[in-house]
Structure 1
Amino acid sequence: MSALFSLKGQKALVTGASRGLGKAIAVALAEAGACVLCCSSTLEGASATASLIRAKGGEAAVLAADLADMEQVRALADSALALGEVHILVNCGGTIFRAPAVDYPMEEWQKVMRVNLDSAFLLSQLLGAEMLKRGQGKIINIASMLSYSGGITVPAYTASKHAITGLTKALANEWAASGLNINAIAPGYFRTDNTFALQQDQVRNQAILARIPSGRWGEPEDLAGAAVFLASSASNYVNGHVLAVDGGWLAR
């Protein structure tokens, strides 16, 4: 059974790997046997993640790209492929900007969409083309609880995460028959930089906790099992699925 979840001999590119969810996913894939290309906006950003992986006996390399810049995203794909076949892509890099919709700056809207959605599509397109030639590949997009609801003062983030679920299904429809698996993980409320403002807001924090059946915020390591499952052969007949890892939030 353990062979189903082994990633030995696989290479994974993980964006947003410097901290939070991306770091936890990168470490989990490495512990399952994958060589992980850890990407963040700077080479220094993901170096600690790569060092941690190596300290645990795993293989890792560091790449960098500003996900708001599509030319850098293209260069990232080229750099990853120059290191050999990429079997797993995890589109985890993201950003958020909070403001009331009536005052929301268009430049912030466009940045959030570029980072959260455009880069995910472009990397999927560029690396997916090579996966299609090989007849095998795993793409994991990071969705959100705001893929299901509207949120408050985060219209761009919400729109991007709704779009990520649609993109996941669209790519699965086109590529599943060619041996690719395209799925998403929808994290619930996790303790990360993106949710720091909510954690500090006592009213929102208590309202969030009251709705989570597990009674706690998620920790980044809580995503490890879901990521390894969707990256491994254990999920070979799972396609176009959005896996909620939310402590029961959606069930309440």
Structure 2
Amino acid sequence: MKNSIKNNLSCPVIAGISITTDKEGRYNLNALHKASGGKDAKRPKAWLATKSTQELIEELRQNSAFGQEIITVTKGGINQGTFAHELLAISYAGWISPKFQLTVNQVFLDYKKGELTPTPKIDNSGLPELRKARAIKEVYNVAEKLCGHLSNLSSPSKQAIYAKLINPIAGSVVPYPILDGQTYSAKEVGAQLGISGHKVGLIANKYNLKTAENGIFVLDKAEHSDKQVTNFRYNENGIKAIKSHMEV
């Protein structure tokens, strides 16, 4: 039966929607959007416009192991839409909602193993223990890959990624990190030194001050949204370094 299901399905199916792929195996984000309910605010275009998404795409593009463009937009023709690498497709699903991300994770896994059951439901209130364990494992693997590509993040920030992805499924099994010592955003540093946060960033980049000695890279809340972005936070030594280069 499993082999029959696999042979009869040319692509994963979620909520009755076929999640098609292009010739490179990238997943159709427009199909995922439709399977999630099709809300206008959750279109791929809106996700692509976020800073955190662009940073993730850039990190993945720098990994030559993928051997292909990780995201592409095809206009016109039979197979049109926004197609993205599996990691990006899962990230997009998580941006839509944590519950939808779990559904996509499980469907992709079952499809690859030839164990896909017809029309999984997005509003499934719970997973059997075995499927739950498999979902946790898949999300853990995604967290590992993301942390591998975001290599400049500090250990506490990587721990926060694991906690955010795994805890919604498994419960509070991964504690959120407690940072040692006070750190400050570029804006806060600028307020102390009488310059703008933008100026702080320019100085730090010019003199390569974003190092472990001067602070840490963290996942921070974007200023005008609830999205997570990669930012550098400065410690006391970092503030002194910025100040010293202001006086050059």
Report the TM-score, using the length of structure 1 for normalisation. Answer: 0.30
If you compute each CA radius of gyration, which structure gives the higher value, 1 or 2? 2
Report the TM-score, using the length of structure 2 for normalisation. Answer: 0.30
